[in-house]
């Protein structure tokens, strides 16, 4: 299902997508986790 909606999002918003953030194996809380989110966002 996620793949299907990812395709929809790519089709509808293609050039507007500036990053994707994965679902982490724990809720992002605290500075260390935020750094991870930022890294993912910046394509690291």
Partner 1 sequence: MNVGFSFKEFISSKPGLKYLFFGGKGGVGKTVVSSAAACLLSELGFKTLIGSTNPVHSLSSAFDQDFWGKGITPIKGAKNLYALEIDVSKTVGRYKDDLVDKISMFLKYADIPIKPGPFVEVATTNPAFEEAAMFDDMIDVMLKGEFDVYVFDTAPVAHTYRLLGMSKVYEAWLAKMIKSRQEALSLRLKLSFRKEKVAKEIAEDPLLKSAIEMKKSTDMARRLLTDPERTAFFFVTLPLALPIAVVERFVTWVKAFNIPTGGVIVNCVVPKEKFDLEKASPYLVHKIEEQEHYLKVIHEKFPGEVLAHLPLMETEVRGLEMIAHLAEALKHPSRA
Residue appearing with tokens 């953030």: 21
* Contact call for residues 24 and 36 (beta carbons, < 8 A): yes
Candidate residues 3, 12, 15, 27; the one interacting with partner 1 per rule CB under 8 A: 27
Query: How many Å apart are CA 3 and CA 22, to the nearest integer?
Result: 13
- Smallest distance, partner 1 to C-beta of residue 19, A: 19
Q: Does the protein bind partner 1 through residue 12 (CB under 8 A)? A: no
Query: How many Å apart are CA 14 and CA 3, to the nearest integer?
Result: 15
Candidate residues 14, 29, 32, 43; the one interacting with partner 1 per rule CB under 8 A: 29
- Please report, as ranges, the residues that interact with partner 1 according to CB under 8 A: 1, 25-27, 29
């Amino acid at each position: 299902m996620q793949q299907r909606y990812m395709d929809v999002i790519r089709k509808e918003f293609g050039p507007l997508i500036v990053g994707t953030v994965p679902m982490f194996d724990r809720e992002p809380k605290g500075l260390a986790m935020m750094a991870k989110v930022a890294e993912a966002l910046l394509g690291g």
